């Protein structure tokens, strides 16, 4: 049994990760300040004696005896990370530093949940790990984009200077049950609009692309990355290379939900990437052949069923 700390453990991704780690027989310490996390997401684990819930802000150091740390604590949707951009970048920087200090003190592995946003509005396609990105450092999204880039820098400096065993993954668009209905992400937005009979909002002309990854595939990739040999730090792209336009996504949501809603078009937000698709060759080679297994249609059906229970 390992003692594993999951920061942001009550969030969409974190709660699924906690469940998988518990199912594999680990003791899990879930740390969350509930800014975007929800107690409902982790209520099913409350009676498990191997599950601890700690309400705590990662900007403040936290002490625990742990073997592994998954650092997921940070608002990840534009509507949430732009709500208080200073707090967002403080979470990225201080939260990561505090987690690395704990990992160093306990000789624990540390996995940093980074993001495809480090590539910005990419000038290469698909995006591979050696690409340094095209990020606006003074834009409205930069609190998150540059915060995550700085967190990666911090991980590598702790690894090189202090010999901390770090693992960095770059998460591409992920969806599934337990997403927040008001998180401003394209999948949840469209599903909620479809189920409420409202017009589906498509920004720009809908030709911009995304690659959508179901939550179960992400969790599998995270666990395989944590299990890689010492000295392999990444970063590694974890995403689904199947590319869809936003308009195609809207049409698929309408079809699966059997909604009569219409599609409307609005202006594209500032710094919104035009194309996003991961190159996952490194993940296939280093993570025991990992690749996404859940096609978009199947994953959307599961996600829509979840939202029917809360909308």
DSSP string, 194-238: HHHTPPEEEETTS--EEE-EEHHHHHHHHHHHHTSPTT----EEE
User: Cis omega before residue 187 (within 30°)?
Assistant: no
CB 30 within 8 A of CB 14: yes
Beta strands in the chain (DSSP E): 3-7, 27-32, 51-55, 68-71, 109-115, 166-171, 174-175, 200-203, 209-211, 213-214, 236-238, 243-245, 263-266
- The model scores a pTM over 0.85: yes
Q: What is the pLDDT of residue 299?
A: 98
Residues involved in catalysis: 144
pLDDT class for 271, splitting at 50, 70, 90? low
Which residue is it, tokens 């400096």? 157
**Tens digit of each residue's pLDDT (9 = 90 or more) over 101-129:** 999 999 999 999 999 999 998 999 999 99
The chain-wide mean pLDDT, for the chain, equals 96
**Tens digit of each residue's pLDDT (9 = 90 or more) over 137-189:** 999 999 999 999 999 999 999 999 999 999 999 999 999 999 999 888 999 99
Does the pLDDT at position 273 exceed 90? no
Does the pLDDT at position 2 exceed 90? yes
Joined tokens for residue 160: 């090189």
Q: Of the given ranges (119-123, 194-198, 251-255), which has the lowest mean pLDDT?
A: 119-123
**Tens digit of each residue's pLDDT (9 = 90 or more) over 62-108:** 999 999 999 999 999 889 999 999 999 999 999 999 999 999 999 99
Provide the CB-side half-sphere exposure for 198 (13 A, CA).
10
Domain definitions of the chain by residue range: 3-178+214-240+278-293
Maximum C-alpha span of the chain: 58
pLDDT class for 270, splitting at 50, 70, 90? confident
Query: CA 75, CA 82: separation in Å to the nearest integer?
Result: 9
Mean pLDDT of 252-272: 91
Length of the chain equals 311
Query: CA 195, CA 257: separation in Å to the nearest integer?
Result: 7
**CATH topology (fold) of 3-178+214-240+278-293:** Rossmann fold (3.40.50)
The fraction of the chain above a pLDDT of 70, given in percent, is 100
Task: Identify the CA nearest to 146 among candidates 157, 134, 135, 156.
Answer: 135
CB 206 within 8 A of CB 194: no
pLDDT class for 268, splitting at 50, 70, 90? confident
List all residues 6 or more positions away from 87 whose beta carbon is below 8 Å from its beta carbon.
none
Mean pLDDT of 15-37: 98
Mean pLDDT of 209-227: 97
- The SS3 of residue 245 is strand
Q: What is the pLDDT of residue 256?
A: 98
The fraction of the chain above a pLDDT of 90, given in percent, is 94
Query: CA 106, CA 65: separation in Å to the nearest integer?
Result: 7
Which residue is it, tokens 């191997």? 50
- Sort strands 68-71 and 3-7 into parallel, antiparallel or unpaired: parallel
Between the two ends of the chain, the Cα-to-Cα distance in Å is: 38
List all residues 6 or more positions away from 169 whose beta carbon is below 8 Å from its beta carbon.
111, 112, 113, 114, 221, 222, 225, 234, 235, 236, 237, 238
């Amino acid at each position: 049994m390992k003692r594993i700390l999951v920061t942001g453990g009550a969030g969409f991704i974190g709660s699924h990760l906690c469940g998988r780690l518990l199912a594999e027989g680990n003791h899990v310490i879930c740390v969350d300040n509930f800014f975007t996390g929800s107690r409902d997401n982790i209520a099913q684990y409350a009676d498990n004696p191997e599950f601890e819930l700690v309400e705590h802000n990662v900007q403040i150091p936290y002490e625990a005896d742990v073997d592994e740390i998954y650092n997921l604590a940070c608002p990840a949707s534009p509507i949430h990370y732009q709500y208080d951009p200073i707090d967002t970048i403080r979470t990225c920087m201080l939260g990561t530093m505090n987690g690395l200090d704990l990992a160093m003190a306990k000789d624990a592995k540390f996995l940093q949940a980074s993001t495809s946003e480090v590539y910005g509005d990419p000038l290469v396609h698909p995006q591979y790990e050696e690409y340094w990105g095209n990020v606006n450092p003074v834009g409205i999204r930069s609190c998150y984009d540059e915060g995550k880039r700085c967190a990666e820098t911090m991980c590598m400096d702790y690894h090189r200077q202090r010999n901390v065993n770090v693992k960095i993954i770059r998460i591409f668009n992920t969806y599934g049950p337990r997403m927040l209905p008001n998180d401003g992400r394209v999948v949840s937005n469209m599903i909620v609009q479809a189920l409420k009979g409202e017009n589906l909002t498509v920004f720009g002309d809908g030709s911009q692309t995304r690659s959508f990854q179901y939550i179960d595939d992400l969790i599998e990739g995270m666990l395989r990355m944590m299990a890689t040999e010492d000295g392999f730090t990444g970063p590694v792209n974890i995403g689904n290379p199947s590319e869809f336009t936003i308009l195609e996504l809207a049409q698929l949501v309408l079809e699966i939900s059997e909604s009569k809603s219409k599609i409307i078009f609005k202006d594209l937000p500032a710094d919104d990437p035009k194309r996003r698709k991961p190159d996952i060759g490194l993940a296939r080679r280093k993570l025991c052949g990992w690749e996404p297994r859940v096609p978009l249609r199947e994953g959307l059906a599961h996600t829509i069923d979840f939202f029917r229970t809360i909308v």
